[in-house]
Amino acid sequence: MPQATGPRPPLAFQPNVFSVPPMNPHPRHIRSVLIVGGGSAGWMTAAALAQALQCNCTITLVESEEIGTVGVGEATIPPIRLFNETLDIDERDFLRATQGTFKLGIEFVDWARLGHRYFHPFGPFGRDFDMVPLHQYWLRTRADGDGSALCDHSMAWSLARENKFLHPASDPRSVLSTFDYAYHFDAGLYARFLRSYAEGRGATRIEGKVGSVQQNGESGFVESVTMEDGRILSADLFVDCSGFRGLLIEGALNTGYEDWTHWLPCDRAVAMPSAHHGGPTPYTRSTAREAGWQWCIPLQHRTGNGYVYCSQFMEDARAAELLSQRLEGAALGEPRHLRFVTGRRKLNWNRNVVAVGLSSGFLEPLESTSIHLIQANISKLLALFPDRDFDPATIAEFNRVSTTETERIRDFLILHYKLTMRDDSELWRYCAAMEIPDTLALKIEHFRRHGRLIAREMDLFAPPSWLAVQIGQFNIPEGHDPLLDHRGTDAREWLGKLRAAMAAEAERAPLHREVLERHCQAAA
């Protein structure tokens, strides 16, 4: 059983480790880490480091209640489960503490054209059978006049459209093993939950504002930060979780920012929670709007809503007005305005500073990837954990991987905008006509010709995700894979059986609301 969270006794008082003194540390080991910022990025970092660095290193986090956090960020993708599992966090405890719900994918409304919707499910479409991917059979039956939708072959969608949820089966013979899931949760509550986890494992929190940063005159390495009240906090390694301002990585080290606004033009968001309108859906909804798109994220106690838009085509006040008119339930708060520039920090690790969270860049929330990128930088930091020599090769490898990961996600996000057929507003006309990165153009072109999905090293989104968006937005291949014509499989019958099996399982599955009530109901 995964262990419940909560404060653990200090390491020295655990009977099994009491008699085993810590090994003599390497003379150049990291003795102290200072995390600047206590949003989701700061506390995820503190929790992971507190668990991984069991001795010979102090972990301190400084944050300012007066400055506060971004306070949005509620939808995730399946790898978040691995993060929680690595920390031994029990799913029920976590969902109860964060007002969390389950997420099977994202429904995209009006993205391809007005009045059209499709689903990006977590997990594959059906299962691989014969030698050719399932969607190739679907393409052939479609050309022969079969009217079934690709999504009808997704277990995640079969459940989601009925507002049902259950955990995937472990038996690979079951269709219930062919989907994946993630969570929606209140990111502020998640940070609070991880704070208690990290403090229970020895991390220390300091309240206050960092006023200045001191660097070594020769190397430029950060040596300490000075608080506005005069306290000086020094460390060997600094993790910059200070949000968009990038207090250390940019403010002190001037690392530079690569601006991707020409590909991902939205640069503003307005967020506003609302009361539930019906039970929480087990999926996020993204609706394309005149100057961007609107999110709808169901939590247990409320629905999170926001309008992400491009300031070139929409005034802030008008965006807030449109969002409040389009809420499905009563508004529960005032509109909250946010500004950002899509892109990435040129280096995520510079000297002895590692940027995690919004300080490392922001790609916009369309596919819920920011919390994942926090997790990805934490994993890389642990995999490449330095000593005080800060080997440049280690830093270069970290930056190589983080650059590639971010560019792959960037391409996937641009795909949604580029493949629109809408021409009813300036934003969509711009997106349909814009130049795109060659790496993305290649993927679109290959798919258009034979329906082939080109997977690239470090793609976060696997071929089924690319398939969902390309088919969902009408990049319909001109032909199917020629290998198919050398196979004698009766695809129409097989696909029909698969759809029937999925529909039957979805019929038997419990409602999402019932699972939450039984499994992990949060306090009102």
Stretch that binds ligand FAD, among 60-68, 254-262, 454-462, 498-506 (CB under 6 A): 60-68
In the complex with ligand FAD, the residue whose CB is nearer, 175 or 373, is 373
How far apart CA 63 and CA 67 sit, in angstroms, is 8
Contact 39, 70 (CB under 8 A): yes
Based on the shown chain and the rule CB under 6 A, indicate whether residue 357 belongs to the binding site for ligand FAD: yes
For residue 179, the one-letter residue type is: F
Q: How far is CA 237 from the centre of its chain?
A: 26
* String of contacts with ligand FAD for each residue 134-153, x by CB under 6 A: --------------------
**How does 318-340 read in b/e, with b if 16+ C-beta sit within 10 Å?**
ebbebbbeebeeeeeeebeebeb
Which distant-in-sequence residues (6+ apart) come within 8 Å of 178 by Cβ?
123, 124, 126, 127, 155, 168
Based on the shown chain and the rule CB under 6 A, indicate whether residue 242 belongs to the binding site for ligand FAD: yes
| Count of residues touching ligand FAD (by CB under 6 A) | 36
Stretch that binds ligand FAD, among 49-57, 150-158, 212-220, 363-371 (CB under 6 A): 363-371
Based on the shown chain and the rule CB under 6 A, indicate whether residue 62 belongs to the binding site for ligand FAD: yes
Number of residues assigned to the chain:
524
Residues pairing with 232 in the sheet? 226
Stretch that binds ligand FAD, among 109-117, 175-183, 364-372, 411-419 (CB under 6 A): 364-372
How far apart CA 264 and CA 178 sit, in angstroms, is 32
Which distant-in-sequence residues (6+ apart) come within 8 Å of 207 by Cβ?
62, 63, 64, 65
For the CB of residue 273, give the shortest distance to ligand FAD in the complex, in Å: 13
Based on the shown chain and the rule CB under 6 A, indicate whether residue 121 belongs to the binding site for ligand FAD: no
Asked if 346 is an active-site residue, the reply is no
Residue from the set 69, 98, 178, 377 that interacts with ligand FAD by CB under 6 A: 69
* String of contacts with ligand FAD for each residue 297-316, x by CB under 6 A: ---------x----------
Q: Interaction with ligand FAD in 371-430: which residues (CB under 6 A)?
A: 371
Q: Interaction with ligand FAD in 13-42: which residues (CB under 6 A)?
A: 37-42
Based on the shown chain and the rule CB under 6 A, indicate whether residue 294 belongs to the binding site for ligand FAD: no
Residue from the set 48, 95, 210, 522 that interacts with ligand FAD by CB under 6 A: 210
Give which of 65, 386, 106, 435 is closest to 238, Cα–Cα. 386
How far apart CA 411 and CA 413 sit, in angstroms, is 5
In the complex with ligand FAD, the residue whose CB is nearer, 156 or 297, is 297
Annotated catalytic sites, by residue? 103
